[in-house]
């Protein structure tokens, strides 16, 4: 039986409210497995010593999903987990990860999820990752995810990652190597409050002819929170790469963007766009002329921006 704290976190990070009866999943709580299920086409195999899992998705698996939420519901837990996804050729799957920390104590709780994706030829993967922190303890809620993608020929990987509340500190490191015709799209949405700190680092090698990558980060920094956005796109052949950092700063929030695009080949097309600023005054005025108060207008603009 799952307790209410676990149920609530599960629902928040992965949309699961109970242990499902079918479908592939692994629920990790405080470093222990709370439940696991494999299916005919998706096998979840624990690594030795409980340090993580291997997820094997058979070639040609279509329209299936895997849920692997990781939770921490106690103070003072430092959980490091290694999860490897082996996605067979021609598969088309959705992977829902995500991490929730409920910390009511005085000691920090840390989750570090190291995920590697080995994506077979022509496979299509949607990877959804949501991070939240909650609980009223003084201990910090720290989430440091690392994601590495190796995308084979003509594969497609889309990663949606969201962190909107409660995480005191995060360092998010994502890297990818793309083969011929492979596509990577990463959409990141972050909002920080209070004294929170968020750091994002992307490093993508476009190695295959016709490969493409889009890295899109939208973030809001409120109060005294700080954010750092780093991205490096290396175009090593005929390829297309686009990175975009778009940030709204409020109060005394600070956002820094350090983009790097490197073309090692004359046929590489690489673009970076970065915009950091407060909410535009004319946006507030427009919504106020529709009858919204300034606060309501601000909330609408932020909600839309991070939608």
Partner 1 sequence: MLELKNICFSADGKQILNNINLVIDDAKFIVITGPNGSGKSTLAKIIAGIEQPDSGQILLDGQDITQWGITERAKAGISFAFQQPVRFKGVTVKDLVTLASGQDLSTAAACEYLSEVGLCAKDYIDREVNSSLSGGELKRIEIATVMARKTKLTLFDEPEAGIDLWSFKNLIDVFEKMHKEIHGSILIISHQERILNIADQVVVINAGQVAQVGTKDEVLPGLFGVDTGCRYMQGGNE
CB closer to partner 1 out of 49 and 291: 291
User: Measured between alpha carbons, how far is residue 58 from residues 42, 75, 120 in Å?
Assistant: 6, 38, 10
Question: How many H helices and E strands in the chain?
Answer: 3, 22
In the bound complex, what is the minimum distance in angstroms from residue 210's beta carbon to partner 1?
A: 25
C-beta atoms surrounding 252 within 10 Å: 11
Q: Residues 36, 218, 222, 272: which binds partner 1 (CB under 8 A)?
A: 218
For 109, residues 6+ apart whose C-beta sits below 8 A from its C-beta are: 72, 74, 75, 76, 77, 78, 101, 103, 139, 140, 141, 142
Angle at CA of residue 302, ends 298 and 303, nearest 5° = 115
The answer to whether 271 contacts partner 1 (rule: CB under 8 A) is no
Residue with tokens 């470093």: 31
Q: Residues 262, 271, 280, 299: which binds partner 1 (CB under 8 A)?
A: 280
The answer to whether 285 contacts partner 1 (rule: CB under 8 A) is yes
Q: Give dist(CA 4, CA 106) in Å, integer.
A: 21
Residues 226-255 that bind partner 1 (CB under 8 A): 246
CB closer to partner 1 out of 4 and 282: 282
The answer to whether 306 contacts partner 1 (rule: CB under 8 A) is yes
The answer to whether 294 contacts partner 1 (rule: CB under 8 A) is yes
Across the chain, which distance is largest between two alpha carbons, in Å? 61
CB closer to partner 1 out of 41 and 300: 300
Phi, psi of 71 (to 5 degrees): -125, 155
CB closer to partner 1 out of 116 and 187: 187
From 99-107, 125-133, 199-207, 294-302, span contacting partner 1 (CB under 8 A): 294-302
In the bound complex, what is the minimum distance in angstroms from residue 61's beta carbon to partner 1?
A: 30
CB closer to partner 1 out of 252 and 294: 294
Instruction: Give the footprint of partner 1 on this chain (CB under 8 A).
Output: 218, 246, 280, 282-283, 285-294, 300-301, 303-307
């Amino acid at each position: 039986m799952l307790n209410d704290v676990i149920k609530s976190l599960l629902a928040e990070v992965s949309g699961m409210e109970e242990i499902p009866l079918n479908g592939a999943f692994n629920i990790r709580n405080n470093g222990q497995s709370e439940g696991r299920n494999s299916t005919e086409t998706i096998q979840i195999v624990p690594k030795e010593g409980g340090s993580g899992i291997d997820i094997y998705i058979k070639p040609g698996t279509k329209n299936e999903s895997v849920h692997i939420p990781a939770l921490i519901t106690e103070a003072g837990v430092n959980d490091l987990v290694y999860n490897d996804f082996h996605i067979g050729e021609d598969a088309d799957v959705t992977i829902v990860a995500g991490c929730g920390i409920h910390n009511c104590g005085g000691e920090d709780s840390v989750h570090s999820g190291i995920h590697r994706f080995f994506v077979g030829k022509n496979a299509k993967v949607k990877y959804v990752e949501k991070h939240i922190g909650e609980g009223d303890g003084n201990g910090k809620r720290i989430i440091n995810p690392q994601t590495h993608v190796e995308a084979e020929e003509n594969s497609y990987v889309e990663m949606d990652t969201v962190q909107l509340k409660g995480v005191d500190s995060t360092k998010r490191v994502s890297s990818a190597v793309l083969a011929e015709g492979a596509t990577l799209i990463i959409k990141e949405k972050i909002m920080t409050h209070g004294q929170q700190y968020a750091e994002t680092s992307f490093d993508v090698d476009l190695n295959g002819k016709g490969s493409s990558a889009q890295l899109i980060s939208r973030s809001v920094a409120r109060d005294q929170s700080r954010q750092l956005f780093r991205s490096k796109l290396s175009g090593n052949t005929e390829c297309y790469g686009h990175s975009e950092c778009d940030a709204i700063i409020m109060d005394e929030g600070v956002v820094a963007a350090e983009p790097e695009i490197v073309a090692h080949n004359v046929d590489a097309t690489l673009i970076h766009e970065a915009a950091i600023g407060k909410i535009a005054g004319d946006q507030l005025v427009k919504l106020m002329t529709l009858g919204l108060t300034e606060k309501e207008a601000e909330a609408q603009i932020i909600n839309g921006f991070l939608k």
